[in-house]
Structure 1
Amino acid sequence: MSLKQYHKKRDFNKTSEPNSGKAKTSGKLQFVIQKHDATRLHYDFRLEMNGVLKSWAIPKGPSTDPKTKRLAMMVEDHPFDYKNFEGIIPKGEYGGGTVIVWDQGTYEPIEKIRGKKAQEKYLLEQLHSGSLKIILHGSKLKGEYALVKTNGMGENGWLLIKHKDDYASTTDITKKDKSVLSEKTIKQVEKTSDKVWQNGHEQVESIEISTDVKTLLKKAKKSKIPIGMKPMLATLVDEPFDDPNWIYEVKWDGYRSLGYCLKNGDVQLLSRNNKQFNEKFYPIFQILQSWKQNMVVDGEILVINDKGISNFGALQNWRSEADGELVYYVFDLIWYDGRDLTDLPLSKRQEILAEVLPQNDDRVRLSQIFKASGTEFFKAAIKMGLEGIIAKKADSLYTKNNRSKDWLKIKANKRQEVVVVGFTKNDDTPREFSSLLLGVYENGHLHYVGKVGTGFNDLAQKEMMAQFRPLITNKSPFSEIPDVNKPSRFRPNPPKTKVTWLKPELVCEVAFAEVTDDGVFRHPSFQGMRVDKKAKDVIRETEIETKAIVENDMKDNTIKPPKATGRKTLLNPKDETQVRKIKGHELKFTHLSKLYWPEDGVSKREMFNYYYQVADYILPYLKDRPMSLNRFPGGIHSKGFYQKDVREIAPDWADTFPYTTGDGEHKEYLLGNDEAALLWMASLGCIEMNPWFSRSQSPDNPDYCVIDLDPDKNTFDQVIQVAQMVKEVLDQIKIPCYAKTSGSTGMHIYIPLAAKYDYDQSQMFAKIIVNLVHQQVPEFTTLERMVANRKGKMYLDFLQNRPGATIACPYSLRPKPGATVSMPLAWDEVKPGMTMDDFTIFNAVDRIKETGDLFKGALGKGIDLTAAINKAKNVFG
């Protein structure tokens, strides 16, 4: 069955095309150091100047000894796009070999010089004089350095010398040999990279396979891809053991999954019983599609928490990346490029797997192997809170469709898959059910093993009842009806309960303390439903006795927990209606494929995902602020309307602010206090976020003064020109200011006030500033509020500084073609050539991660308004 028919998820991390010229940076000069394995191992040192990366070569690399830091000046320049400077370089291109980005960051002259262009000019002059002093802010190189030209050595006479204060360090930082981008070494890139860096561009090339692995593959028999097989299973044993002929792995608490991949992009992600996981775990499926390799891998899909521990309950409830960090741990290779590897020893399969498995996305990882003491490794697993360990014979073959004693599992806690055969409901409970009735198969017959009444919340119960209803039956699935409500010493008088039987088709997992003599689980706790297993396959697992064979010193008892990845998206790309719990409140998102920006193909789903991703950045500008809801429920081309009073529509949990307007109207404003409020507004069709300038604690005192540059028939370059003039005026009177695009046609400039002055004072100060600017360019600016009187000129709007007025806040989307964002800017970005289309829903998240919040100063220490006005009088008369 072809798997090419899937809904392709929009990439919110879209950036500018590789090598398209200058990268958008935070306004600081960049440096890059590449580690290059060509004819000899060396380091390429690149400094950005005039938008390109000037290059030197460091033969031995930076260390603590300044004498080793000789550089040879090279003549080639590279477009500033260092993220493409990693991969395999073909022979004949820059010496060939493999290259990684060893370090990267920003740099600046030691002397205090304002402005990027001024810094570049100064640095070039210093470079030509033969001595350049700089401060490096890298991941590995930090502090003051001098780049010095020595006499008598020609082009090879450059030294990079570390400041003497740091000479006390004895650490050779070249030992830190991993890339700061991919965290790979040269060897790892050589093994796993499918990227080729050629003339500054990345191209797809097949993975280079070592001679040893090629020899191993020749020993494997030719075979078609093994569609329909079931994986090899492990046998449960009662205790860990030590044996040098066995290796150990973490027992992951997830769903076993086989990944079938073909070069043409045809991919299957299947459970152990051949159920499709393609849509359920779509991020992993999409990664496998990108591999373009012929291979079948065996692994475990899990959700990890921030401590790196897997959580089966979170996996069972996983619907989108908002529900947890999804990871696929791959531990075996079954078939590769037309060869059946199952007859090769495990150690050889793992050797091949380590070389051919693509590892350029952290959500697919090679499972770590431990050649160690099994007993000590088991203790380490318990200490970390893991489910247990797996022991495997190093020379074991892969036996498909079979449970083998060559693979053993040792559990830290007692757990078992069970069949859900019914449920009970007590007379006095409002819940959907009180407990689940459980069974397992023994010798082909279903046996009762007890009931479980803990481990599920109300939402989980509702979802489970939707699964139960089609299976309700009047007939018990047991040959003898068990007493499901018999008294015990703990509950001598159990409550009256009604039993509802189900057809034995669903499977769940429970943890328990022990098994009683009559085979019933004691103190069971529900862990989650199992969609990957068939009820008929659920048999009672009985531990087999095992003995330690050989004591062996522990070589490595350190289990490295998986890293939790960053926040991704809230909603999955398939379901049209989804319910998510945000800050403890259930929010319903509907009609998710509806295009809000039809020309750009951007849907409601993508809007919700955007606001979820930028919540940490936008919420400081919404918290405690009354919101004017500008609603576009039909998308950007529908008729929008403002709603300020939310008394009739706000959910019970929402924070609101009662306020009487100047006209005597009583309104209840929503406060943008948290992520739930943000996403609830978005669910109403609030494409943009419009908070007050003041907070509910000080409604008459704004936190900032705003100057709104509103063009008419002006070009955006003229808007930029005026913004620079506003900055120059404020610089002369020593007043800080922060710029952002409006996301529409103009720009906004904020001046921090920290709620120390009222709106009238703020408006008066804004009027002073715009008057000074207008006097300089009266030919294309105006202070006329009425559009008809502006005569096509740019309006310098100071009247926004009034109670209840709002403009789109930083990081807000705008209901405009292009899906633009109101984006904070570094002042050296405010220059001709910048356009509104530079900042959209497609690249905003990526930019914000790179720059951080450039606008936070607008919420900082407020200016001294009286001093500022007096200074303006002295400077401008």
Structure 2
Amino acid sequence: MVAVPPRLKTRKAPSRSRATTKRASGSLATYRAKRDFSITSEPKAARAKSQGNRFVVQKHDARRLHYDLRLELDGVLKSWAVTRGPSLVPGERRLSVHTEDHPLKYIDFEGVIPAGQYGGGTMIVWDQGRWIPEGDPHADYARGRLTFTLEGDRLKGKWHLVRTRGKPGEKNEQWLLLKSDDEAARTSEDPDILAQETTSLKSGRSIEELAAQGAIRVDHAAREKVARSKPQKSRRPLKVKGAKKGILPAFVEPALAQLVESAPRGGTWLHEIKLDGYRMQARIDAGQVQLLTRKGLDWTAKFKPIANALKELKIPSALLDGEIVVEDEAGVASFSALQQELKGGKGERFVYYVFDLLYLDGEDLRKATLADRKAVLRLLLDDLPQGGAIRFSEHLEEDGATLVRHACRMGLEGIISKRADQPYRSGRGDDWVKSKCTQRQELVIAGYLPSSASKKAVGSLVMGVYEAGKLIPVGRVGTGFTSEVAGALYKTLTSIEIKASPFAKKLPATASRGVKWVNPELVAEVEFRGWTHDGMIRQGSFQGLREDKDPRDVVRETTVQGSRDTSPGAAILEKAHLTHPDRVLWEDEGITKLGLAEFYTEISDWILPHIVNRPLSLLRCPGGSQKECFFQKHAWAGLDEDLIQRVRVGEDEAVAIQDLSGLFALVQAGVLEIHPWGSTLKNPEKPDRLVFDLDPGEGVSWDGVVQGAIDVRDHLQGISLESFVKTSGGKGLHVVVPLRPKASWEEAKEFADSVAAAMTKASPALYTDTMAKRARTGRIFIDYLRNGRGATAVAPYSTRARAGAPVSTPVTWEELSTIRSGNQYRISNLAARLLHLQDDPWGEFGNIDQVIPKSGTRS
């Protein structure tokens, strides 16, 4: 069970000094280390006299076509790789990966960088001119928010470069390049300047013409010849201790991680984020690519986009080890999303994270240490663009326990820890161990029960594992399958039905009643909350079928150390009356009515203080989140008045609950969102909290939303009010202000209005207090209307009736910078987050004693 939370209580740049010059020269060390100047014709990393605020944009056809933006500052060129090139359309964000500083002479460089060298490919000077920063460029560069005007041949007007927070494991900073709305801007209907202007300012030649004249990278034979020559060797150390000459293996049995209770400590370990996808070996031989499962099955056709991307690496021969995943918008790998992409997508969302290198160009590296193997691998993949289909799996060397706790709080699956000083050993051993945020493993399907809510669909699965060669039962799984999956499973399982139970021992009548037994040949991945004392899983959720697993390899990954769940919540759930518990409420996630009730059982101590004994507005979706939903503010026919109370608030009628049984009654009624009043039943006319809902308009980045929340907090602090923050479960954030119930609803709304108006007046380009959509493009609507009498906002820890089953989740101001979206926390990962929290993010909420000041504006 999760822990019980604490009780709710423009200026010209200055001339460079000698110290600045020294720092600028030193900042070219990375540039120098990545290049062999006996091979490449690029400018050497030497000092040059500054000539002012110059800029250059170079069109660069390396492994991927992109545009390099370079701004002169402190005697070097600060550089970004703009993956899709600059756009003149305001609001269009272009990912810009911060790369190493370049020498000033690079501003005129144009030519062909030899294959095998860092950034190998053709480069032309696409635009040049001056850049004029607003404010102090040094301070703005340091804080990651540059605003400047470009005076180039092709790019003009005002621009913004904004640093974003990278995903876990990313090596290079990611920024966004945006065009301001001015005379130099274009609309989306206008021609794209990148398509209009394709030639060099210096030579008038295109990339293709320069490449042809440069006689490099012309055909495959030429590429391979160059790739096997001396330049190729410069991409990795010439000698790796333990490496041996050898023939490229057809397949290598993969190394597997042993599950441990706690992550290892000490400096001999490398820690990687655990990925939730398909383990895949990539075999590259003379331009041909094979993708092999951990059993050696050829799945190249299934993951063709990854195979094609690997071909573009132009590696003569290699054997890579990694994981193919699909990430959600928060950057978290999702096995269910991977299966959906495999079934109906084009493979555009596939990502191959490579975490090991077993063979490269005639050398078998398995006897080399992991640290050396990953060093070679990093160099091999070093100039790949950020956000591409092939990515280097970064690692950290900090304390494993700290890292796994952080990963769990972020909603990730866990970490893999590997001994840095050991060779690659096939099979399961102690060199690789995994620490999980939630219990999750493969289980064998032994039978099923038909759905009570849908025809020809599975309602629940009967699961087992092998023990001493015999199949033993481990319980049932009744949530996690979409209607489509439930139907497909039913069709598959009916075709392999058998008359008798496949388990080694006879089951009690209660455990086998109504079960359709099947041949135990299918393996499912299941997430669950632990083991009971008799070896059964608790709260199992189906994640998908594992076609890469042999059923007889499925064993219990940990010894049974659990006990039967005797918590009050579990006892109440057993008595709760849930009709059609297998009815799917979130179709994309396959979460059923039972699954929602189990979720609230586990987090009841966190949500109940925010919803009990308050008037409630309820979003009911009896048929699920994708069917008709409606707000219910009053009692309804068939209401269980023992559990859900009718209450009077002045002349209005509302509903309320008092405990977990009432919450289960809401689940039974198809309530997917709970919106409490900002006041209690005891004092309904005096609000005890205010909510500022930050609703981003089109073109506003997530980082803009985060900054908006911080700006609201800072404004409130300026008038002596403390605030707390939570994700909305949608696109935005909620800033919540606890109050002593003293002011009236009219006073509260007037105050909230004044805050939104003051912020809009101070930053009209960023914020608006107008609800109209036309006023919100590129701005954040600070919704203060949640603070009127009868108006509501979604409760902390309430689910949302949106894709992914997100949950509105309280976070600390300190961890806000690590959050990647407003729907990052979901039914699937919130319980693990709460379990690994050391303190309640809103632990002091109920202890704040403050009232609304007379004015929301700063003096």
TM-score scaled by length of structure 1? 0.42
> Normalization by structure 2: what TM-score?
0.43
Structure label with greater radius of gyration: 1
